[in-house]
Chain A
Amino acid sequence: MKSPDQLSVPPDGRPYHDQPQWRNDFPIDWPQDEFVARRDFTKFLVLTSFAFVVGQLWITVQNFFRKRKGALPIVRITRADAIPVGGSLVFAYPAAHDTCIVVRTGAQQYFAYDQKCTHLSCAVVPDLAHGRFHCPCHNGSFDLRTGIPTAGPPRRPLERILLEIRDGDLYAIGREVRA
């Protein structure tokens, strides 16, 4: 007996549940096509949902390995007086690809931060005349003395590099991440 929902009949006359899978997945009837389209879109959403879970687990694993790294090394940057007052120097800390920048604002005043903007990781440049670090990509600004964002899209402060002067040499001794 033909179902009241069934508008068309397959060429071999057999009911739909006896038909090959492709005939059910590519229906002729509009109502059935609507059902299959929504079902397949739901399937795609579930796949997207799975991708988000993979992303969450990736962050969890990365966090686990980051916690195991332990304390950062103490690295000599340069002679403290090699940077003139009002000058800056780019250095790498702790790894070779982690570029940081140190700015000297006074005789004994040094401020060092990770050079990556907290918005989309462009390199920030010091703008001493305005007392800020400027990110040219999206016009972000950070306070020179605190690293706190003052303008533009960044919402988190720059990572501060902890400094120490020993025997006239400037050392990086750690990183301070602030929320």
Chain B
Amino acid sequence: MKRTFSRQQKTTIVFGILSIAVMLVILQLWLLTATMNAYLAHQERVIIPAAIASILCFALNLGLLSYIYRMERR
């Protein structure tokens, strides 16, 4: 059974999700700068793992956003 939330609960949830999204985006920013530095120094082995990690962060962010919209429709 799907739970329905009050507006106050929804706002609290969206705040929590927003905090996680901010942390993930900061992590991606760090990944991008570190990868660019590695690319310019020809340290190629970190490039693909960093790209995979960034894609995972994006997928998580996308999942969290879709949860907000699903929660809103209830």
Residues on A close to B: CB < 8 A? 3-5, 31-32, 34-35, 38-39, 41-43, 45-46, 48-50, 52-53, 55-57, 59-60, 62-63, 67, 118, 156, 177-179
Which one of B8, B25, B54 contacts A45 once the chains associate, using CB atoms below 8 Å? B25
B22 near A45: Cβ-Cβ < 8 Å: yes
B24 near A55: Cβ-Cβ < 8 Å: no
Question: Which B15-74 residues sit within 8 Å CB-CB of chain A?
Answer: 15, 17-18, 21-22, 24-25, 28-29, 31-32, 35-37, 39-44, 47-48, 50-51, 54-55, 57-58, 61-62, 64-65, 68, 72
**A172-B25 Cα distance, complex, nearest whole Å:** 43
B6 near A38: Cβ-Cβ < 8 Å: no
Interface size class of B (residues with CB under 8 A): 35 or more
Q: Which residue of A lies closest to B52 (CB)?
A: A56
Residues on B close to A: CB < 8 A? 6-8, 10-11, 14-15, 17-18, 21-22, 24-25, 28-29, 31-32, 35-37, 39-44, 47-48, 50-51, 54-55, 57-58, 61-62, 64-65, 68, 72
A46 near B54: Cβ-Cβ < 8 Å: no
- State how many angstroms separate the Cβ of A16 from the closest Cβ of chain B: 10
Considering residues A43, A60, A178, which has the most beta carbons from chain B within 10 angstroms of its beta carbon?
A: A60
12 extra interchain contacts, Cβ-Cβ under 8 A, other than A46-B62, A46-B65, A156-B41?
A35-B14, A49-B57, A52-B31, A53-B58, A56-B32, A56-B55, A59-B32, A59-B51, A60-B51, A63-B39, A63-B44, A179-B42
Q: Which residue of B lies closest to A34 (CB)?
A: B11
Tell me which residues across on chain B come within 8 A of A57, comparing CB atoms: 51
Tell me which residues across on chain B come within 8 A of A5, comparing CB atoms: 6-8
The SS class assigned to the B binding surface is helix
Q: Which residue of B lies closest to A156 (CB)?
A: B41
A53 near B54: Cβ-Cβ < 8 Å: yes
Known contacts A34-B11, A59-B36, A59-B51: A46-B21 contact under CB 8 Å: yes
Q: Which residue of A lies closest to B55 (CB)?
A: A53
B29 near A52: Cβ-Cβ < 8 Å: yes
A45 near B55: Cβ-Cβ < 8 Å: no
Tell me which residues across on chain B come within 8 A of A49, comparing CB atoms: 21, 24-25, 28, 57-58, 61-62
Known contacts A38-B18, A46-B61, A179-B43: A32-B55 contact under CB 8 Å: no
